[in-house]
Amino acid sequence: MALQRTIKVMVTGNEAVGFTASCIELPILIQAASMEKLTDLLQQAVAEALATLDPDHQRFDPHPALLLTGT
């Protein structure tokens, strides 16, 4: 089975109210005042989430790309 190389993330908000990122494939919800901080927190959260998954059922590449989309 091929490992999934991207993780999809939905981003909402703007600089005035802050940003929220919701991961589609992992149980991750992040809020931050800037897009830069949001990206940093998101990368940390994804790494932590992947580290907790059962290695025998791992479907993600160990270093996946994050595909951010907005509304």
pLDDT class for 5, splitting at 50, 70, 90?
Answer: very high
Give the chain's end-to-end CA distance (angstroms, integer): 32
pLDDT at 2 over 90: no
Q: Answer yes or no: CATH 3.30.2390.10 is held by domain 4-70.
A: yes
- Sign for the CA dihedral angle at 13, 14, 20, 24 comes to positive
Q: Are residues 46 and 7 in contact, defined by beta-carbon separation less than 8 angstroms?
A: yes
Distance from C-alpha of 50 to C-alpha of 54, rounded to nearest angstrom: 9
pLDDT class for 46, splitting at 50, 70, 90?
Answer: very high
Structure confidence by residue, pLDDT tens digits, 16-38: 999 999 998 999 999 999 999 99
Domain boundaries, the chain: 4-70
pLDDT for 43: 95
